[in-house]
């Protein structure tokens, strides 16, 4: 049973004025088959949480723990985290000139599984995943994300998700910059991944619109580097109606 457990996580980032604390004690547990949505205003630390789980060198964990199935994630290198079953879909997917999508995907699959997939079945799997995401198969021969639109980059992230099939997927604002058609296609891909029943999802978003297509089990309100409130899907509707103001004001008052 896959469980991602985050306990009292404190994270800093270096600035011109010295280290600045972004995460100020985050507690979160994502169990097998659960989808957790994290919502909050800009600058609240949502993406910092995603990148800290993935092992981005920009962020320094000063206190707390992150474990996956009891294994210490923070002691792992980035590639080891991927092999352990963690996946990050980035808000701004990077371009990799000179590396084709086909080679990138096969290399990633080989690294995670420890052996190369059989070429004939792999090509079929890649073409099938791309077709489900409404991506032209010629994209497989293009350099990773180079010249891709925002929507094409996000679809490619979900192609990776489906082919690599991690234990836990961290999706950082996968809905940003998507029109309604692309949003539905991306959501369908995430839901196919979820339908396996034993996969965890941490979905980070500003808006409720993606939650109309991907229904979370839990919603967490993130403000000033902490979880300010937790609830079910109804909490997302409340946020849509009322915004984050009361949480921001409460956090400011508490800090004062």
Q: Helices marked H in 140-232 — which ranges?
A: 150-164, 180-194
Q: What is the pLDDT of residue 93?
A: 87
Rounded to whole angstroms, the Cα distance separating 104 from 198 reads: 26
pTM of the model: 0.92
Domain ranges of the chain: 3-255
CATH topology of domain 3-255: Rossmann fold (3.40.50)
- Classify the phi-psi angles of 76: left when phi > 0, otherwise alpha if psi is within -120 to 50, otherwise beta: beta
Q: Could you tell me which of 210, 229, 209 has the C-alpha nearest to residue 219?
A: 229
CB 17 within 8 A of CB 181: no
Residue with tokens 């547990």: 29
**Entry field: residues in the chain:** 256
**Which residues of the chain have a pLDDT value below 50?**
254-256
Q: What pLDDT does residue 256 have?
A: 43
- Given the structure tokens 């923070």, which residue do they identify? 74
Confidence (pLDDT) at 251: 62
């Amino acid at each position: 049973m896959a469980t991602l457990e985050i306990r009292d996580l404190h994270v800093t980032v270096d600035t011109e004025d010295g280290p600045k604390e972004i995460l100020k004690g985050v507690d979160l547990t994502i169990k097998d088959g659960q989808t957790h949505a994290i919502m909050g205003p800009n600058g609240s630390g949502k993406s910092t949480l995603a990148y800290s789980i993935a092992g981005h060198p920009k962020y320094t964990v000063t206190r707390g723990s992150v474990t996956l199935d009891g294994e210490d994630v923070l002691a792992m290198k980035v590639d080891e985290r991927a092999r352990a079953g963690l996946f990050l879909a980035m808000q701004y997917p990077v371009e990799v000139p000179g590396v084709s999508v086909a080679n990138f995907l096969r290399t990633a699959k080989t690294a995670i599984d420890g052996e190369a997939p059989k070429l004939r079945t792999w090509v079929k799997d890649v073409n099938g995943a791309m077709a489900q995401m409404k991506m032209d198969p010629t994209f497989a021969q293009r350099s990773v994300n180079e010249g891709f639109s925002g929507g094409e980059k996000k679809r490619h992230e979900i192609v990776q998700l489906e082919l690599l099939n991690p234990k836990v997927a961290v999706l950082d604002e996968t809905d940003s910059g998507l029109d309604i058609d692309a949003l539905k296609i991306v959501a369908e891909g995430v839901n196919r991944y979820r339908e396996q029943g034993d996969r965890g999802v941490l979905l980070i978003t500003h808006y409720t619109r993606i939650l109309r297509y991907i229904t979370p089990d839990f919603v967490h309100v993130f403000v000033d580097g902490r979880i300010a409130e937790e609830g079910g899907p109804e909490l997302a509707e409340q946020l849509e109606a009322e915004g984050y103001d009361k949480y921001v004001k409460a956090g400011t008052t508490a800090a004062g």
